[in-house]
Amino acid sequence: MVITPRTPTGLQTLVPQPPPPNQKQTEPDQRTIVVQVMPGGKLKINQDDSNWNDLGPRLFDIFKERADKIAFVKGDDDVEFAQVARAIDIMRGAGIDHVGLITAKIEAGQ
Amino acid sequence: MAYKPKAPPVMAAPNVIPMADIMLVLLIIFMVITPMLQKGLPVNMAKAENAEKMPNADRDDAIIVAVTRDGHMFLGSREIQLNEITGEVKDLLSNRLDKTVYVRSDARAKYGDVVKAVDEVRSAGVENLGLLTEKPQGKVAPPPPPGGSD
């Protein structure tokens, strides 16, 4: 039983597709929450500085009265994947159902 | 004098030696085949407590893109170049209803390399991505970020 392979586990994320070329680009929602993981273990929730201990409670407070539990995560190129995975893990723990990844192409609107 | 066979003395305890032999053989068999059961490239995955089960990632036809610590990329167990990912994933996704792709990245891989792979996968029309992680063993606090102030 101990050595039986376990069911894989993971963090479900979304990578939004670009809108069709003939569709108008919609204005970004002002309520959108983006968690940034920066080098040195620094974190930002939108433009506000945060840290690993506060991230979960702050996100929980932000999303407790929201119906759409969607947030995005953006990581610096030089941070380890484990740090971004940890941020996504905390976001899911704070009740965020859908975590979107912001990549270079998504940022460029491609 | 005629030979008269003597019955051995009655054993009160069961003989467990054959059972122990069988158990050892089974143990060795499991130890040998367990590493073979792991699909894809073995990488040191990140740990996540709130990860959900992804049984489809264990299927034979699951599309798993692996990123190693040094930035090498693999599709399944085959090494692949970054610019080949979109085409290969597109081919694999054709005639499929579940268009989820799984990313098995090393915990210490640079996120920039992971994002490059994600961008290529996204270009193949994928919207749902499963970042494969491991459940932490026991209640161990995650390591503090390098140079970070928790």
ipTM of the complex: 0.85
d(CA A73, CA B106): 18
Question: Model confidence over B4-16: pLDDT tens digits?
Answer: 888 877 778 888 8
Interchain CB distance below 8 Å, A85 and B133: yes
C-alpha B35/C-alpha A76 separation (Å) is 34
Min CA distance, A30 vs chain B (Å)?
A: 23
pLDDT of residue B140 exceeding 60: no
User: Are the C-beta atoms of A72 and A35 separated by less than 8 Å?
Assistant: yes
Look up residue B135 and give its amino acid.
Answer: K
Residue at B134: amino acid letter: E
The CATH class of A31-107 is alpha beta
Q: What is the pLDDT of residues A50-67, one digit of tens each?
A: 999 999 999 999 998 888
Nearest-CA distance from A31 to chain B in Å?
22
Record: contact B115-A86, CB cut-off 8 A: no
> How many whole angstroms separate alpha carbon B10 and alpha carbon A10?
58
Does the pLDDT value for residue A110 go beyond 80? no
Domain assignments of chain A as residue spans, ordered by start? 31-107
Q: Answer whether residue B143 shows pLDDT above 90.
A: no
Domains and CATH numbers, chain B: 55-131 (3.30.420.270)
- Tens digits of per-residue pLDDT, A5-55? 678 899 999 988 877 766 666 666 778 899 999 998 899 999 899 999 999
Residue B46 CA to residue B104 CA, distance in Å, equals 9
Task: State the DSSP H helix or E strand holding residue A57, giving kind and residue range, or none if neither.
Answer: helix A52-63
Q: Considering only CB atoms, which chain A residues are within 8 Å of B49?
A: 89, 93
pLDDT of residue A103: 84
Q: Tell me which chain A residues have a C-beta less than 8 angstroms from the C-beta of B148.
A: 40-42, 51-52
The verdict on a CB contact (< 8 Å) between A80 and B105 is no
Neighbours of A57 (CB within 10 A): 12
Chain A positions touching B58 (Cβ under 8 A) are 5, 7-8
In this prediction, residue A74 carries a pLDDT of 92
pTM over 0.90: no
Instruction: Tell if the CB–CB gap between A41 and B109 is shorter than 8 Å.
Output: no
What average pLDDT does range B24-48 have in this prediction? 82
Asked if residues A55 and B89 have their Cβ atoms less than 8 Å apart, the reply is no
Answer whether residue B28 shows pLDDT above 90: yes
Inter-chain contact B133–A84, Cβ cutoff 8 Å? no
Q: At what angle do helices B85-93 and B111-123 cross, to 10 degrees?
A: 50
What does the DSSP 8-state code read for residue A96? -
pLDDT tops 80 at residue B73: yes
Residue A53: beta bridge partners? none
| Residue B129: how many other CB atoms lie within 10 Å | 23
pLDDT of B148 strictly over 70: no
